[in-house]
Structure 1
Amino acid sequence: MRERIIDRFNQGDLARAYDLCQDGLRDRPDDFWLKHRAVLCLIRSGALERASAAYHEYRLAEIRHDEDCLAVGARLLKALALESSGQAFARFARESARNYADVHARTGGHYPAINAASMYMLAGDPGPAEIYARKVLYGSFDTATASREQAYYRQASQAEAYLLLGDLPTARSTLREAFRLDPDNHLAHATTLRQLRLLVAVLGLDSDWLAPLEPPRPAHYAGHIFGLGAGEGQLDKGQEGRLRDTVELMLARHHVGPVHGALAAGSDIVIAEAALARGCELNVVLPAPVPAFLDASVRPFGEAWVHRFEACLEQAEKVVELTSDRRIVSVQTLNFASLVAMGMARMRASVLATEPLQILVSEADDAETPAGFGTLHDRDVWSVCGLDQVRVPYPGQRSSIRTKPAADENPEPGFRPAMRAMLFLDVAGSTSVPDDRVPHFVQAVLKPLAACCDALADPPVHADSWGDGMFLAFDRVEDAARAADTLRQAFADIDMDEHALPPSLGLRIAGHFGPVHEGEDPLQKRPSLFGGQVAVAARIEAVTVPGSIFVSEAFAAALAMSSYAFRSEYVGQIRIDAVMPDQRLYALRALPANAAANLRRSRSARSTQPV
């Protein structure tokens, strides 16, 4: 069973891994490994309240002979601290530091020592912080069999210790040496940079010295469609060559790494080709399946673009088809794809502890571009977020024939397309409620959740229920996120013991964002939502860990472009249905505006330069 749990955990299937842990604990209730792994599943999925309750219920703090069990309590407290502010932050940070210090006393490891030092400093206790920082520098650690990653973390821990002791020059040189030991481990580098930025903020130090060590910057790209040849709306070979040269210069100047965007004829493909030639990771985000996009946005501009499209697609790290629509029917759908691509770039930058960049190929004056469409839409959405933007001048003359899609068409009378942020909610474990307690369950659990919905400042535009489940739809993704967190808190406030209900009951909330069809339900004779995106939202709920909010990548990406009040942490690529593609899911958590996890630099130290 352990192998199955580890496999599911490593694949990001936390709901299944957690369920397997619970199955195992029914047969082996004293197995501390299963208890430890169950708590890790909850922490990773963002269910911190449930993780804390399980940690104490399982009495993991009493298992003194296993370092993993010893450290998980400190890790949980650190997670709680980073999602808190004010006195709560200091209290959790101090408790985390004490836990890490206890682990170090028992294991002698440098990992618990440096975490104890940093958490003490963040809690405002510099004395203990300096003590544990010196333990990191002068302790005896076995490095004979260290891997490159282990050697990196050992050196990075020393750099952090020097920083805590006020020796900034040595901290800088030691950190550079750590990055040299494992140069391509960008995720590990990001973890270190994030921790150091917290510390320099507390210590009142300048953080600019960390900028040269940032991983390559994720970017979103977009630009005008054009054909090849002579005349209006086309570029000749010389013009395309100059455009490519400028794009290549910009990619190098701004240290661009992963790129995210569509793959239409013209600018998109030119940027994608230049990025691939430079060794950048290409992530393609399309509003419709590949054949539909190819026929609408590539083939009409010449067969040469088709071959280049296919070559880029072959080398792409990821190709996302956001809908199963066989047509690109609306501006709304195209803007949806652009929004998701922008959000993916921004989320990737957050993971890598750097700032994203947008690359646009456009004229200086886009006055002729329809408002809210295409490159102009992407420019405005990005600039509202205050993010770095680079414009590459379009070297030709735009066609007088606009590339805007035709007006939305209603394929069936009585239906209209709409963008909706959707939530599915379900009370896991409700089948364990004795039949005689079901009416009380409805009154004590479902009724408060319904009242919570009624009291929302931004209520859903559509609501439905069945049994112990609820379906809510919103105009805006941030409204859905706030509603999800409010409902999660409302459920957590219900005392199951007081109502003689099973304590194992847990609320699962799933979120998705995408285009739907609005029309009348033939049976209920009232408006309802239809389409594949509704089904995706429903299937995500089934794989959500109780106590958590799991959302799709589209939901998380759209939210990343509109709100700092939430954090979406990657869970994994999960099979949600036997006939549907696997979904990349994220655990959603609301954060106070001044939470430590919200610490961001307002601008990249690599300032944007005009090209």
Structure 2
Amino acid sequence: MNDKAHILQLARAGALELAWAVLESSGLAAEDGDPGALTLRARLVKDRAVRAHGEERIRLFDVSAELYDRAAQIRRASYPLINAAALALFSGRASQAQARAQDVLDLLESNPDEPETPYWLGATRAEALLLLGRVAQAREALCAAVARAPRAWEDHAATLGQFLLICGELGIATEWLDRIRPPRSISYSGIMAVPQEDRDAQDAVANWLMRENVGFGFGALAAGADIWIAEALIQREAELHVVLPCGIDTFRTCSVTAVDRTWDSRFQRLLELASSVTELLPVSGLTLADVALAEDVAAGFATDNARRLRSHAGKLHVGSGCEDGTGDGDVSRVAVARMTDAGGMALPIGPDRLYCLVRAMSGQRERLTAAAAPATLEHCRATGGRAGIAVSLGDEAASMARAAALARTAQPGQILATRDAAFALLALMPRTRIEAMGDLRTEDARFACYAVF
């Protein structure tokens, strides 16, 4: 992957500061004659503007518009022109925005073979029409663009974000944009001691996934309801993202073949069909604490994916004795699964019933319970402290060492966390925002670092 593609990927993932760092280290930040480099800089400045407020927000929108204009002057293309038009609107220059939008329509008409994807050409035309207040035509053009690339979720999400901003500025209702909103992301879990087939429960799962328009599922593959859900996701052509609390071989032994060896072929097939497989811990056994961590990390992944795609997140649990469609808090419980005496729970109950977090701050090191996390993080931000957070599962000394390294790296008022701790915190506090900051190296380890906001 080249630098430009890497920077764009980071920006789309919400890792704005890391994208800036790569832009600067690659030398692209100083490129004034390269329209591709200019549009990347403009994109990152616009992302900063969206997070800013008041006069700073308007100033950054103006800077971004200028960068897009410079790119368009070097190579006249619809992408920088349409962005310059929208940014003129955001910074209070409505007449200029409309003039530029008309320029975009004229360019698309005169150059229908512009080297851009059919989706983006259609979405750009729709955006120009929207800026001109021609909402019905914009809606028609956008639907046509989506039809050309129905599963380009990241592209749809980028368009949705831009159109929401434009509609907000123009006072236009936004319900019509729900038609392009990407599908829901969920984390899932379920009981293990069930028959290989339970058509009523499996149909209830499939019907719920369809009714809720689920397109992305994050969870484990334990023998039983996990596998039912994962198979239903694959059947509806949703993305399956497997999140295991340990390595594949350990999980297979503890949570698949220990229940019933006949589940193994289904487990293996789902691993091969999964869009991704994440293994959290290099442990030789498995406890309920490990499983609890994996479930929270999966929920964090689902929340992050939904936020990135401007969609919605949820949780699905399949248990026994629960009514189809009922909920408990933010967890939907949809299937009444029959229990069986065959196999049984493969998980030993370890000394740690739940995982905990450890925190290093201002030279102090302590355990941090999930319940105490929100107040602790707010206190750190308010007092300008530096905090590092890691997950503690057994080897607390190693976790504390990572937390301490993160705290030393943090800026005043900043909270840094390991990947697992960051996504677990996101599951516990969905309003939290996390951002990838690259890898942190210590004397004996290298691990991903996230900022928690």
* TM-score computed with the length of structure 2 as normaliser: 0.80
Aligned to 2:115: 146
* Runs of at least 5 residues in structure 2 that lack an aligned partner in the other structure: none
Write out aligned runs for 1:151-550 (5 A). 151-228=118-195, 237=197, 240-330=198-288, 332-363=289-320, 383=329, 390-396=332-338, 403=345, 407-409=349-351, 419-421=356-358, 453=362, 461-462=365-366, 474-476=368-370, 513-517=390-394, 529-531=396-398, 533=399
Query: Highest CA radius of gyration, 1 or 2?
Result: 1
Structure 1 residues 71, 89: CA separation in 2 closer, same or farther (over 3 Å shift)?
same
- Which of 532, 536, 556 is the aligned partner of 2:422? 556
Post-superposition shift, 1:186?
Answer: 1.7
1:292 and 1:315 map into 2 onto residues whose CA distance is 20
Number of aligned positions between the proteins: 444
Render the CA deviation track for 1:183-205: whole Å, top value 9, x for unaligned: 33221111111211222233332
Contact 1:218–1:256, Cα closer than 8 Å, also in 2: yes
2:382 and 2:35 map into 1 onto residues whose CA distance is 36
Note if 1:86 corresponds to 2:28. Answer: no
- Which of 43, 51, 55 is the aligned partner of 1:75? 43
1:542 and 1:152 map into 2 onto residues whose CA distance is 46
- Which of 25, 32, 46 is the aligned partner of 2:17? 46
Name the SS of the counterpart of 1:116 in structure 2: helix
Name the SS of the counterpart of 2:221 in structure 1: coil
1:59 and 1:490 map into 2 onto residues whose CA distance is 34
Contact 1:461–1:474, Cα closer than 8 Å, also in 2: no
- Which of 126, 129, 151 is the aligned partner of 2:94? 126
Post-superposition shift, 1:298?
Answer: 2.6
Name the SS of the counterpart of 2:281 in structure 1: coil
2:40 and 2:199 map into 1 onto residues whose CA distance is 55
2:230 and 2:307 map into 1 onto residues whose CA distance is 22
Structure 1 residues 69, 274: CA separation in 2 closer, same or farther (over 3 Å shift)?
closer
Post-superposition shift, 1:539?
Answer: 8.8
Post-superposition shift, 1:169?
Answer: 0.7
Q: Structure 1 counterpart of 2:95, which letter?
A: G
1:11 and 1:80 map into 2 onto residues whose CA distance is 14
Q: Structure 1 counterpart of 2:60, which letter?
A: F
Render the CA deviation track for 1:395-426: whole Å, top value 9, x for unaligned: 42587x9959655338xxxxx99522556xxx
Render the CA deviation track for 1:467-508: whole Å, top value 9, x for unaligned: xxxxxx744565776688679x789xxxxxxxxxxxxxxxxx
2:406 and 2:272 map into 1 onto residues whose CA distance is 29
Render the CA deviation track for 1:136-171: whole Å, top value 9, x for unaligned: 112366443635x3x322221111111121111111
Contact 1:361–1:392, Cα closer than 8 Å, also in 2: yes
Note if 1:114 corresponds to 2:78. Answer: no
Higher relative contact order (CA 8 A, sep 6+): 1
Post-superposition shift, 1:59?
Answer: 11
Contact 1:193–1:353, Cα closer than 8 Å, also in 2: yes
Contact 2:119–2:149, Cα closer than 8 Å, also in 1: yes
The percentage of counterpart residues that share the same residue type is 26
Name the SS of the counterpart of 1:285 in structure 2: strand
Post-superposition shift, 1:50?
Answer: 7.3
1:329 and 1:313 map into 2 onto residues whose CA distance is 22
Structure 1 residues 79, 587: CA separation in 2 closer, same or farther (over 3 Å shift)?
farther
Contact 2:322–2:335, Cα closer than 8 Å, also in 1: no
Q: Structure 1 counterpart of 2:397, which letter?
A: F
Render the CA deviation track for 1:541-590: whole Å, top value 9, x for unaligned: 99999x99875432332232244664334578x7979998x96x465363
Post-superposition shift, 1:311?
Answer: 2.5
Contact 2:205–2:232, Cα closer than 8 Å, also in 1: yes
Aligned to 2:434: 568
1:70 and 1:145 map into 2 onto residues whose CA distance is 19
Name the SS of the counterpart of 1:282 in structure 2: strand
* TM-score computed with the length of structure 1 as normaliser: 0.61
Q: Structure 1 counterpart of 2:49, which letter?
A: A
Structure 1 residues 512, 165: CA separation in 2 closer, same or farther (over 3 Å shift)?
same
2:245 and 2:369 map into 1 onto residues whose CA distance is 19
Contact 1:512–1:554, Cα closer than 8 Å, also in 2: no
Name the SS of the counterpart of 1:158 in structure 2: helix
Render the CA deviation track for 1:247-278: whole Å, top value 9, x for unaligned: 22222333222211111221111111222233
Structure 1 residues 407, 361: CA separation in 2 closer, same or farther (over 3 Å shift)?
closer
Post-superposition shift, 1:172?
Answer: 0.7
Aligned to 1:588: 451
Contact 1:542–1:576, Cα closer than 8 Å, also in 2: no
Structure 1 residues 576, 142: CA separation in 2 closer, same or farther (over 3 Å shift)?
farther
2:200 and 2:89 map into 1 onto residues whose CA distance is 52
Contact 2:129–2:137, Cα closer than 8 Å, also in 1: yes
